[in-house]
Chains A and B, each alone.
Chain A
Amino acid sequence: MASQSWVYTDKAKDHFVNPRNVLKDEEKYHADGKGTVGNIKCGDEMMFFIKVDKEKGVITDCRWKTYGCASAIASTSILSEMVRGMKLRDAYRITPKDITKELGGLPEHKIHCSVLGDKALRAAINDYYDKNGMRDKIEKEEARIICQCMNVTDEEIEHAVLEGARTFYELQERTKLGTVCGQCEPEATRLLGEYVKKHFSKE
């Protein structure tokens, strides 16, 4: 009975109940890279700490801290297991979908809680690159403005999709894009489809 009513998979539940690699004492942990993303005002914030084998470019150890709900905790926990021993350039490419796949899926309305983990990891790797004279490897994640009238970016469209927007009308409701001249509708609709596929398709 209990497992049926649980909205998470057993694996996600296990990582929530027994989170792995939580950072215990920040002062004693000498991280080579540290990244913080999110905001507690929005309900979740994550910190990721990595140790790197500089010769091989491999993550040898990592720790994390998360303020957030069960899926935020579970996804950071499983991410910390995924990246150990991973090459930096591979870790850089981890997507939220990789994380949810590893968890055996998340309920649809919880997927937006899992998108911070990979960002926190990339922030930690960027921090490492920055400190070790490898700034050229940092890929800027710059938002692109899609709706000029209402100043809405592709990032905001992605966010709206994660929150549940599935139609252009729902995008408009959430972001107010396309409510003035409407020129951005084709591009916004294209991105909508792209982000739905990125985060919610079953493949």
Chain B
Amino acid sequence: MAKRQIYLDNNATTPLHPEVQRVMRKALGMFGNPSSLHSFGREARGMVEDARERVASFIGAEADDIIFTGSGSEANNTVLSTLTCQSKACDDKCEHVVEIITTKIEHPCILETSKCLEERGTRVKYIDADCLGKINIEQLKDSITKNTGIVSVMMANNEIGTIQDIKEIAKIVHERGALFHTDAVQAAGKIPVEVGDLDVDFLTLSAHKMYGPKGVGALYVKKGVPFCPLIRGGHQEKGRRAGTENTIGIIGFGKAVDMREKEMEKEGKRLLELKAVLKQGIEEKIPDARFNGHPMDCLQGTLNMSFDGAEGEAILLYLDQEGIAVSTGSACASGSLDPSHVLLATGMQPERAHGSIRISLGRHNTIKDVERVLYVFPGVIKKIRDMSTVETGKE
């Protein structure tokens, strides 16, 4: 008989909210192109614009400020790639930024884009993080020069859950005359995100991290801020992102943020309590478990930990055998040789990063799930440590 499956990887992606499923199913037959003038098109256009209103209102923006994209990664790529465009052919809307600043703990879609831009001649500075995953604000202050066009700092980290002080960072950046972007893919839908309050110029969202569909992201662009499209060849999104809209995905996104508005606060508190039980149980039942990330400024449902002497992929796959789905920062799981760049950036030793596990709780998780994990987890760690070359518990 199949074991009950427990999904604890909600920072990777989330299941569709039942309400989101309902509205998307209802919309499946609606095939009109939102750009068409006839009734089919007008119906689709109405639904897309309705969703835009909802997504905008969710972050305190106006509908005009929201560009729908194919993913959070696309939105992040758009900001960095287009601001640094050096083509003389581009009109004077382009910023031709020659220097950007980001951090060492960003998502790969920021880091790899930055690396690529470096190869094309853009100067990129990477800000350090401390052992809890907070970025070095003093270093940031010292790094911004008159050439710095844009600073990009993620609001909450996907691996360790650490939340940055975005409002303070945005102020520092603006005082020094640069634009500011935040990747709020993990934060939005879990903690309040208000673009006016944060005072950001660009902000990235993704639907599938908040019980919406995959394949839809959004980029908030503040009014009056320079913008140049990444994907060209159509007048969609007011000429800012070509390509026929992912109508049904966008409709699902609109419903997802609606549901988040209703459920987020209460659920956040519940997840925080569940995480506390989980953390305490692990501390009691598993020797030498270490918790990573910030103890306070952390996403409610995210718990990242390391187990000396046990490799992450092995832990993940033994838990998977028991029907429990988690994530790891080990190199082996990613197919590369280096463990999590985020954990390494917090100063963690590679051997400890190889043994890291991330549990990210979501709206469907209950105390029963946590109890099951606490029942299975200690045995898994013991089994791995018993065959490990690394002696544990002798420090």
Contact = CB atoms under 8 A, between A and B. Distances in A.
Interface of A: 2, 16-17, 19, 22-24, 36, 40-47, 64-73, 109-110, 112-113, 163-164
B332 interface: yes
Interface in B361-395: 386-390
A44 B311 contact: yes
B337 A163 contact: yes
Contact of B388 (A2, A16, A65): A65
Interface in B145-185: none
Contacts of A23: 387
A125 B282 CA distance: 41
Contacts of B314: 16, 68-70, 73
Interface in B291-347: 309-314, 317-318, 321, 330-333, 335-337, 339
B2 A67 contact: no
Contacts of B336: 163
Nearest to B334: A109
Nearest to B350: A41
B351 interface: yes
Interface centre among B311, B335, B350, B390 (most CB of A within 10 A): B311
B244 interface: no
B302 to A, nearest CB: 23
21 contacts: A2-B2, A16-B314, A17-B321, A22-B386, A22-B387, A40-B389, A41-B351, A43-B330, A43-B337, A44-B332, A45-B389, A65-B388, A66-B388, A67-B311, A67-B390, A68-B332, A69-B332, A70-B317, A73-B387, A110-B335, A163-B337
Nearest to A70: B317
A68 B349 contact: no
Given A40-B351, A163-B337, A66 B330 contact: no
A46 B389 contact: yes
Contacts of A72: 311, 332
A122 B154 CA distance: 48
B208 interface: no
Contacts of A16: 314, 317
A40 B321 contact: no
Nearest to A46: B389
B29 to A, nearest CB: 30
B354 interface: yes
A40 B330 CA distance: 12
B389 A65 contact: yes
B205 to A, nearest CB: 29
A71 B313 CA distance: 9
Contacts of B354: 40, 43
A69 B388 contact: no
Contacts of A2: 2
A40 B349 CA distance: 10
- Going nearest first, the 7 A-B pairs with the smallest beta carbon separation are A69-B332, A69-B313, A109-B335, A40-B351, A22-B387, A67-B388, A45-B389
Most A CB within 10 A of own CB, among B312, B318, B321, B332:
B332
B319 to A, nearest CB: 12
Nearest to A19: B387
A125 to B, nearest CB: 18
A41 B349 contact: yes
A148 B360 CA distance: 48
